[in-house]
Structures are given as C-alpha cells and as structure tokens.
C-alpha cells in the first residue's frame, strides 16, 4: 500500500489510527512517552499544556483510557470536560458534525471513544482541532503505544527482534491494531485465532505494507503451538467486546476456548522470559458479574486467560495499564503543544 506515510511525512493533525503514522513518527511518540514517564517519576515534570481544554467523549465505558486522559491532562496543566452519552446531545439530538463544530470552538483537542471509526474521523474533520481516538470498533491506537512502551521495558531486545503472539479475537479493535502496530515496529508478529476471528483483508494489507518497509514477519495461523513457539510476548483481549450482544458469550466461548492463554500456552513458547500482556479488563476469575454469568453458562471460571497466568510472574498487565497514562500524555503533548 503506497499511501502509508513516509518518514518525511508531516505529522497528522489528529491521532486517529496507526496507519496515519510512519514508523519513525510512531517511535517518536514511544520515546516521548518514556521521557515523560521518567520526568514524572523523578519529579522533573514540566507542565506543557497549561491553559489547554480537552473534551473527553465516551460513548462506551472506560476505566483506564478515561483516567489516563484525565490524569495526564491534570499533570500537564490542562483542563478536561467529560461527556458521556447521557450527558450530551451527541448522536441522538445533535449530529457528530454539528457537535464537532461546537466543540472545536471551545476546546483545543477532543478525545473520542465510540463504535464507528467514521465518527472519530468526522469529529476531526468538522471540529478543526486534534481528535484522539480512545477506541473504536476498528482501532485502539493509544493502547498500542502503551503496549510498545511496556514491551520496550520488559523485553530486552530491539523491537525488530521481538516475537509477539496474540491469541483470541483478532478481528476487533485490539487484534487489528496489534497486528498493524507490531508490523510498524518491525516485529515477528503472530496472530493466533480460528479463521473466523482472524483479521480482515484491510488490516492485513496495511500490516503487510508496513512489514515491507520495516522487515516485520507476519504469521496468521489457527495453530496455537506454531503461533506461540519462541514468543517473547503473549497477548490477548476479552472475547466479547463492548457493543457486542451479551447473547454472544456462549457461542464465543465454544469458538475461542482453545485459544485461552494458560500455563500450557506459556510453556509452549519455550521461553521462560516470555511476558504476558492484556489491555484489560480481563475475565480471569469469578470476581465480576459477567464472569459469574459466563461461568453459569459454560462452566469456565477463567476465559481468555487463566488466573495463574494473569497473576503469575510473567504477567506485566499492570505495568501495561500504568503505561496508558504516560503514552496518552505523550499524545496530548505531541498534538497540543504547538
């Protein structure tokens, strides 16, 4: 795909999806996040966003993404306004375009989490200010920066030497973004899922175009053993995503249960240093109402990851969650400090 940005391309105005960025630009954001994290930890953080106002639109629920935007903005001196679907006219009484034109006159930037990528793109087009994609059904780009920073911290190899296996539902936001961002970073990326849950042709084409440039190796397989052999990172995501009907659980569990990340999966890597990653939230025990309901339906007390792996020594999921803060802060600084 020749339309991917080259290293010399200008910065996009908004942070909407991975394929708007060159690999060099993506690395710049990861480097900036590492710098901002170090500054925050050693008490030398400088407020670069004083006086900036940021709208946070959440059509879907969130813990990490919302908190990361709010805390990152606070630490950098910016103000945030949180809009949930019931607290604004968006979508039901006012179009995206009209809302965007209003918000663009008041705010310096807008975060959007929702269903359609086209809504994030429309907000960017009509608001005239930078828009930050906090997750759509198609892409989850802020998550990918946090994942990359976490890999850099825990896997002592250059990105181009990292083997990253992702198991489970790879046709939704996290799986698609992980394929593309891993290819962008030149990794040996393995997507391990039944054919129905493998990435669509668009995501594959974008990833291959990056791979042609970065030397990434891409494997898409339904065979767990092949997929995880030699992996440095094993990742997964929940099996039924926000916006999907709860009736999907029983069939989904039957379709994906062989792709659970458990002690056997980690052993199959044959790599004692392999780390386990998950964007969270996760169903690894019966401490959630959905987890208990799915247990009643299927008899499985852990879904996409077993509790021993989630809480075990190879798991870096809470470092990964913390890195949402530092990487989202890097996005805000890179796009608003202009």
CA distance 15 to 131: 6
- Measured from the Cβ of residue 223, the count of other Cβ atoms closer than 10 Å reads 11
Q: Which does 237 bind (CB under 5 to 8 A by kind): ligand CP, ligand NVA, none?
A: ligand NVA
> Residues 119, 169, 232, 237: which is the catalytic one?
237
Nearby residues of 323 by Cβ (< 8 Å), 6 or more positions away: 33, 37, 145, 146, 147, 149, 150, 153
CB distance 21 to 184 below 8 Å: yes
> Residues 143, 198, 260, 320: which is the catalytic one?
143
- The interface region with ligand NVA, picked from 1-9, 22-30, 84-92, 233-241 by CB under 6 A, is 233-241
Residue in this structure with the two tokens 């060159």, named with its chain if needed:
22
Q: Which does 63 bind (CB under 5 to 8 A by kind): ligand NVA, ligand CP, none?
A: ligand CP
* Binding flag, residue 334, ligand CP (CB under 6 A): no
State how far Cα 240 lies from the chain centre: 16
Q: How many residues bind ligand NVA (CB under 6 A)?
A: 9
CB of 242 to ligand NVA, least distance (A): 4
* Binding flag, residue 172, ligand NVA (CB under 6 A): yes
* Binding flag, residue 143, ligand CP (CB under 6 A): yes
CB distance 301 to 255 below 8 Å: no
Q: Which of 242, 286, 290, 300 binds ligand NVA (CB under 6 A)?
A: 242
Active site residue 113: yes
Q: Which of 35, 63, 250, 337 binds ligand CP (CB under 6 A)?
A: 63
CA distance 253 to 236: 14
Active site residues: 113, 140, 143, 237, 279, 324
């Amino acid at each position: 795909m020749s339309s991917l940005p080259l290293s010399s391309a200008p910065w996009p105005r908004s942070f909407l999806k991975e394929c708007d960025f060159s690999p060099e630009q993506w690395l710049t954001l990861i480097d900036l996040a590492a710098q901002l994290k170090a500054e925050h930890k050693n008490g030398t953080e400088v407020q670069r966003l004083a006086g900036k106002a940021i709208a946070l639109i959440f059509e879907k629920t969130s813990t990490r993404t919302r908190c990361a935007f709010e805390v990152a903005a606070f630490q950098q001196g910016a103000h945030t306004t949180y809009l949930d679907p019931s607290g604004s006219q968006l979508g039901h009484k006012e179009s995206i375009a009209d809302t965007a034109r209003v918000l663009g006159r008041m705010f310096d930037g807008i975060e959007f989490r929702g269903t359609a990528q086209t809504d994030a793109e429309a907000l960017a087009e009509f608001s005239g200010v930078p828009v930050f994609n906090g997750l759509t059904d198609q892409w989850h780009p802020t998550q990918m920066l946090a994942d990359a920073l976490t890999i850099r911290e825990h896997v002592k190899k250059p990105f181009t030497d990292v083997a990253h296996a992702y198991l489970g539902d790879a046709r939704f936001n996290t799986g698609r973004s992980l394929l593309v961002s891993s290819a962008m970073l030149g990794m040996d990326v393995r997507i391990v899922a039944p054919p129905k849950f493998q990435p669509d042709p668009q995501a594959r084409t974008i990833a291959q175009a990056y791979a042609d440039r970065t030397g990434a190796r891409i494997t898409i397989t339904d065979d767990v053993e092949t997929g995880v052999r030699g992996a440095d990172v094993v990742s997964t995501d929940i099996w039924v995503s926000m916006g999907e009907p709860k009736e999907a659980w029983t069939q989904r569990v039957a379709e994906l249960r062989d792709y659970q990340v458990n002690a056997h999966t980690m052993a199959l890597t044959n790599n004692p240093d392999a780390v386990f990653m998950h964007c969270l939230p996760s169903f690894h025990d019966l401490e959630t109402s959905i987890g208990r309901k799915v247990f009643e339906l299927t008899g499985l007390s852990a879904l996409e990851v077993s509790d021993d792996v989630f809480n075990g020594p190879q798991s870096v999921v809470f470092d990964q969650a913390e890195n949402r803060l530092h990487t989202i802060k890097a996005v805000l600084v890179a796009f608003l400090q202009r």
